[in-house]
Chain A
Amino acid sequence: MSIADALRGAGAKPAGKRPYFLDAEVERVLAITMSIAQELAVSRQRTDTLERLLLEKGVLSQGEIDAFVPDRAAATERALWNQEYIARILRIVQQENEAVGRPDDIASEDVAVEVGAAS
């Protein structure tokens, strides 16, 4: 079985119409959120496994991660990563706010009619 087939098969719909308990839009977003919550837990546990293995092998010592203080350059890099991360996640908020300042904005569909007109 190919990876693509296995992925498709893993997420296959069971026979039987799916019930919805919330507005379909809300339930769809919640389902995606819960899958991401699951994957976040998986990542967190993987990091924890890594830390414990490093501890066991003597690469890290107990409390070293909690006591970690980045130097100035590292702190800046990490802060920038956080800013970039938040900006990516909240792209739609930025774009909706920019739209408020563009009352003359026009939809491409309308422009299509305009530029496609005979004259």
Chain B
Amino acid sequence: MSRNDPAADYDGPPDYRVIGRHALFPQTSHDEIERINFLAQMNRHLAANVVPGVKQAYEKRVVPAFEALEARPIANRHEARKALLQDPAFQTWSALRRMTMEQRQQAGRWTALRQAEQLAEKARELTEGDERLKLDPTLQQPRYVSAVDHHCMPGSYHTEYFPGDVTNGANYDHAGFVTTSGLLGKYSDGGGHAVARWVKRNLPDFQPQQILEIGGTVGHSSLPLAQAFPEAEMTIVDLGAPVLRYGLGRAKSLGVDNVRFVQASGEDLSIFPDASFDWIQTTMFLHELSTGSLRRIMAETRRLLKPGGIVLHVEQPQYAPEMPLFEQAMRDWDAYYNNEPFWSRMHEMDLDAEMIAAGFERDQLIHGGVTAVVDRDLFPDAADDDKEDYGRKAAWHVIGATV
């Protein structure tokens, strides 16, 4: 530690201006950037400086109060969360964390909406007549997407405010930095690079020709796979037209051409014949589903895989019995207070059993772990980060299978 040198000791998100831009990236004024910087620092402050107080309150107040009242220990994460809800430390942290998310949506949406027509025009120029964008206006949004807007993002991934609109793609892309504090890197693609690196290391002979990402939104985690395997064709499927339209424009602008964006539900990919893909990927996707749709999607991945192919799902860690109840309760926060209603149930599911029920063999299941791969000169590296932001950290589990 260098004495009295704040810069040398700096631990936190980088200035937003290091973010990577592309043709569809919204213009951001000085003050819009500073709003994002402030909100990223808010999230960092809550994780680094406020959460430890919540943990202490749990140990010193919440647990003793529960045990005094019930004459038994807290039995599960739901009891832990409900007990925490009575404690002022959890209440204050929760209120601030919720407000920070609401402020982030307002900030990002303002930037995207005030230039919505210009962005749509750029998207039209980039994608009009391009067969790599296939939209299906008849597609119905499933209940697990339409009931509540995921992570308090008004209109979610699918709402279009006018024909050709990309607002919700632009908002999701440019202001996601607030939540991840830069941990996903220059193009918010650290997760995709991590997966590509994991595959190259663990499956060095794997040479996929056809890759599918389900729920790939604007392509944050898909483009790195397309870049890592330039001979392959990458297909990104999503329910939302604005994110797909934005996604193809973004990919082309970034010089990634071996991609196509298709509007479809992962539950019904009958547009693709059996055994169409060598590799099927989902990244931080399963928790936004429902029990039924997760099963149907896993069955579709089994049907669509070619012999010798792989499926990989990247997610936050499952709730294991050895995970402390406090951590489980804190991780459940997003399910109940940040509109991620399937988060809690999904993280307690036996995913091995679900994969087997979908037709995969137990001895061909894959388990691993990855952390975001970022440009370490500019961005914090999740592998070096000892803070825990319960569900937001760029360190994930991999579950998958070969066939």
Contact = CB atoms under 8 A, between A and B. Distances in A.
Interface of A: 1, 3, 5-7, 9-16, 18-22, 27, 30-31, 34-35, 37-38, 41-42, 45-46, 49
Interface of B: 30-31, 34-35, 37-39, 42, 85, 90-92, 94-96, 98-100, 102-103, 105-107, 109-110, 113-114, 116-117, 146-149, 152-156, 161-162, 336-337, 339
Contacts of B147: 15-16
A13 B154 contact: yes
A42 to B, nearest CB: 4
Contacts of B37: 41, 45
A6 B20 CA distance: 25
The A contact surface, by secondary structure, is helix
Contacts of A11: 106, 109
Given A14-B153, A16-B149, 11 more contacts: A6-B114, A9-B113, A10-B106, A21-B94, A30-B99, A31-B95, A31-B102, A34-B99, A38-B103, A41-B34, A41-B38
A38 B105 CA distance: 14
A21 B85 contact: yes
B101 to A, nearest CB: 9
A16 B337 CA distance: 10
B202 to A, nearest CB: 38
B110 A34 contact: no
Given A1-B161, A14-B149, A14-B154, A9 B109 contact: yes
B106 A16 contact: no
A13 B94 CA distance: 18
Nearest to A37: B38
A29 B38 CA distance: 19
A35 B101 CA distance: 12
- B-side interface mostly: helix
B327 to A, nearest CB: 20
Contacts of B30: 45-46, 49
A14 B155 CA distance: 7
Contact of A12 (B35, B91, B94, B154): B154
Given A6-B110, A6-B114, A9-B109, A34 B96 contact: yes
Contact of A46 (B31, B148, B156): B31
A19 B98 contact: yes
A13 B45 CA distance: 25
Contact of B100 (A5, A12, A18, A34): A34
Given A15-B147, A16-B339, A42-B34, A10 B103 contact: no
A16 B148 contact: yes
B92 to A, nearest CB: 7
B161 A9 contact: yes
